[in-house]
Each structure stands twice: as structure tokens, then as C-alpha cells.
Chains A and B, each alone.
Chain A
Amino acid sequence: MAEFLNYMAWGPKGWGDEFFFAFFMTLKISLIAYGASFAMGLLFAMFKLSNSRFLRGIAGTYTTVVRALPEMLMILLVYFAVAGMAEKMLVSAGLVGSEFQFSPFWTAVFALAFVSGAFMTEVIRAGLLAVPKGGIEAAWAIGMSGPQIFRRVVMPQMMRHSLSGLGNLWLGITKDSAIVSILGAFGELLQTGYRAAAATKEYGYFYGLTALLFLLITILSLAVLHWMEKRLNRGLL
């Protein structure tokens, strides 16, 4: 027992600080990727609902391809191929110097967001379709601008209709954040667990601890989601 407490010591001898920071690193990766995924989902959902066949085609291709391939393969592809291409394009456009490279961290986060964004697109699309048209018309009729209607009428109701899907995607992304450990050492939870387990040979203990910390994230998330659900569902029958 004392041994396990020693393992959790702060500083170079123990793993306490590593896990502490890993916990927040996982949260940080998840939050940034989720935010980006939400933005992509919103954009592509609007493409899907637009009148332009071209935009609908782009969004359809994106969601189909991403959902067809294994997540890990998709992330590897984005990390190694898409990011490389984007770098070359930026360089040849003269926007950046020839030695420009995305940081591995941001590339990994983007890869995660790119994959999650496809599922997000579907969730948000369904949520947007569920917003009553009559309320939008009433908003035009009273003299609101398009952006005002989007912010004040469409978004809150879309969120309400999408919340369970959005919540699932959040929980998914906290777990998928572990996948980026195959791309590099970002010090998130799974990789930290792996390093601690390998160094001490206490596999059960450290993987168990890692699991507990993921569970903690989930429990906290569920509490927040529950609160949001209550808030957003005000006035629902």
C-alpha cells in the first residue's frame, strides 16, 4: 500500500504529477478537438442543407468517407497525408516559409476533429432540421437579421434537439483523444498510463488508475450534460 502511495508522489520519483497533467492534457485535447469538430459540423451541416449541389456534394463526400474508414486509419491519413498536403499548399502559395510544418500537437488535434466532425455534421444537421420553421419565419417577420436569427432562434433550438448526440460525441472524443498517442508523445492519459506501467511493471495498478481517470472525465461530463439538458429543455413539453 505504501508502495502505491510512493508511486503517486509528486516530482521526478513518483507519477502523481504526470497523471495530474495528463488528466488535463486529455481534457485540453478533447476540448480543442471538440470545439473544432463542432465548427466543422456546423459548417458541413449547413452545406448539406444548402441549395447548392456542389456544397452538398462536398459535405456528402466528407461524411461518407470519414464514416466508412476505421477511425484510427482516418486519423493516420489526416496526420500524415492531409497535413503534409496542406503544408505544401501553404508553402507553394507563398503564405509560409519553405520549412513550415504544422506542430504535431495541432495536427493530431485537427485529425481528431476532422473525424469527429463528420459525425457532428449528421448530429447538427438533424438538429437544424428539427427547428420549427414557423419560429424562423416569425423572426424574419419581426425584422431580425439572418445572423440574429441564427444566434437567437436557430442555435438554441438546434442545441436542444442535438444535445444527446452532442453529448455522445463529447464522450467519444475524450476516449478518442487516446488515439493520438500513436502519433506522438503529447502526455495525455493513455500514454502516461502506458509509460508508468512499463516503467514500474505495475500494469494492473496504472492501467486501472488510467481507467479511473477516464471514468472521472465521463462522470463530470455527464453532470454537465445533465445540467445543460435541464437548461435547454426549459419550455419543452
Chain B
Amino acid sequence: MDTNQPALSVRDIHKQFGNTEVLRGVSFEAHSGDVVSIIGSSGSGKSTLLRCINFLESPNSGEIVVGGEAIRTRKDKTGSLVPVDKAQLRQMRARLGMVFQNFNLWDHRTVMDNIIEGPVHILKQSKKQAKEQARALLDKVGLFDKEDHYPSQLSGGQQQRVAIARALAMNPTVMLFDEPTSALDPELVSEVITVIRQLAEEKRTMIMVTHEMALAREISSKLIFLDQGLIHTQGSPAEVMDNPDSDRLRQFLGMLNAA
């Protein structure tokens, strides 16, 4: 990977569902070690943006570049971009570790199996090597004694930490988090935040959709306020949060404070 290249470039992403344009041209970059947090009200297109980055949704136009390599696409007849080369898309996805709001662990597999699935079957690591790495990751997220458990035997916070370990096991260029604490009971939020904070300290490149303003302020190198499918404001957390430059942003931040 060319180190002068941004770890991730999102270039002019447009996405519509039916006739509603959910993303209307979103661009930003994350350099290695950046933490980019995306905030915005419900329905502003935050999840859609994140899902366009790894092509869980196909954008209608735009470009995604990971570590200098663009996901190769063409337009299909419905006007969506489709990947030209499925193998390349899979490689690119493997470099983008995604953590979902609802964890999305494979509940028929143990914690260990969840974590080594990608390394063994996609990266073709040996099982032994993958397990060693998985144990180190479980230790890191504070679950070293849970490798034989099934997801259903874990709390939400524990499941999310396993999901983070599963994503880390692929050693991704960029981590994508979609509201990683929103589905958790309040008392379980902090254990997940602790892990995310630790990743930020280790200079992991992360793109995070979140409503946790305190966390966003603390760890973000850049904060993006997404509104009606456009980047309304971006800047350092202090710039965005302390001097809101518009009524919409003030309104949004006010709503969060009131809640």
C-alpha cells in the first residue's frame, strides 16, 4: 500500500432508493490513523453511506478507494454501479472491517469460529495461526475466557466485542462502525466504548457512525455532520460541536443535549 495515499477515499457518492435520493454527493478522506465520526439525525443517510463504502449497497455513482486502489465498477442498466470484478470486491471488502449495530455474529458458530472464519477461509491462514491471533484479540477485548461460548450465551456488549475482534482478525485497512453501541443496554455501552477508544489509541483507521457525542469528541480526528444526504459541516470535533455554524446543526446538537 502506498503510504502517501489516504487509507480511504470516498468520492462523490450518490445513492437513491427508488426516487428518493438518500446520498447526494458525499466525499471525504481518512488517512491512516484517522478516526472519522459521522453524526446526523435519523434518516440522514449515515448507514447508507457506510454500506456504500463496502458495497453492501451499490451507489448510483461515485468511487471508493481503499489504500490507493479503487473498487472497479461499471453502470448497470438500472443506473447502479456494479462491481466489475467480484474477486477484487471481495479483497476490498476484506480490507474494510465492518461492525454492525446488531453485531451480526454467526450464531451457529462459537466465538472462536466466528473470529477465525475470515482469516482461515478468506485470507487462507492456517487454523493454528488464526487461533493464536484470535486468542490475542479476545484478550484485547476482554473476553479471553469466552472462546468456546456461542453468541447466544453472551450479553450484547460481549457480542459486540466479539464482532470487533472478528473484524480486527482480518487486519483491515479501515474499520467501519455503524452505531456500535445503539443496540446495547445502557450499562453495557461503556465496555464497548472502552475497546473502541483503545483502537483509536492504537491509531487504527476508523469510520464511525455514532450518537455517542462524548466518544466522538474524544477520539475523532474529524467529525462529519451529515444532513439530508450531504455533508453539511465537517471539521475537528471542537470546530463542529462548539461553534455550530448553522441552525440545522445547532438543532441537531440541541436535540442530543436535550435527550
- Identify the A interface with B (CB < 8 A): 132, 134-135, 137-145, 148, 152-153, 156-157, 160, 232, 234-237
Contacts and interface: CB of A to CB of B under 8 A. Distances in A.
Given A137-B56, A137-B100, A235-B152, A143 B93 contact: yes
B85 to A, nearest CB: 12
Contact of B56 (A140, A152, A234): A140
Contacts of B91: 143
Interface residues of B, number: 33
Given A134-B102, A144-B121, A148-B121, A235 B110 contact: yes
A140 B55 CA distance: 9
Contacts of B107: 132, 135, 157, 235-236
Interface of B: 54, 56, 86, 90-94, 96-98, 100, 102-110, 117-118, 121-122, 150-153, 163, 166-167, 170
A141 B105 contact: no
B105 to A, nearest CB: 7
Contacts, number: 76
Nearest to B55: A140
Nearest to A236: B152
Given A148-B121, A152-B117, A237-B152, A135 B94 contact: no
26 contacts: A135-B104, A135-B105, A138-B106, A138-B166, A140-B56, A141-B93, A141-B96, A141-B98, A142-B93, A142-B166, A142-B167, A143-B91, A143-B93, A143-B94, A144-B121, A145-B86, A145-B90, A153-B106, A157-B107, A157-B108, A232-B108, A235-B107, A235-B109, A235-B152, A235-B153, A237-B152
Going nearest first, the 4 A-B pairs with the smallest beta carbon separation are A235-B150, A143-B94, A134-B104, A138-B104
A143 B110 contact: no
Contact of A142 (B86, B102, B118, B152): B118
Nearest to B102: A134
Given A143-B118, A143-B122, A144-B90, A138 B54 contact: no
Contact of B93 (A140, A152, A157): A140
A160 to B, nearest CB: 6
B108 A160 contact: yes
Q: Is the interface of A mostly helix, strand, loop or mixed?
A: helix
Given A141-B56, A142-B170, A144-B90, A235 B118 contact: no
Nearest to A159: B108
- Which of B91, B104, B151 gathers the greatest number of chain A CB atoms within 10 Å? B104
A139 B109 CA distance: 13
B163 to A, nearest CB: 8
A142 B122 contact: yes
A147 to B, nearest CB: 11
Nearest to B95: A143
A216 to B, nearest CB: 32
Contacts of A145: 86, 90
Nearest to B94: A143
A153 B170 CA distance: 18
Contacts of B108: 156-157, 160, 232, 234-235
Contacts of B92: 143
A137 B104 contact: yes
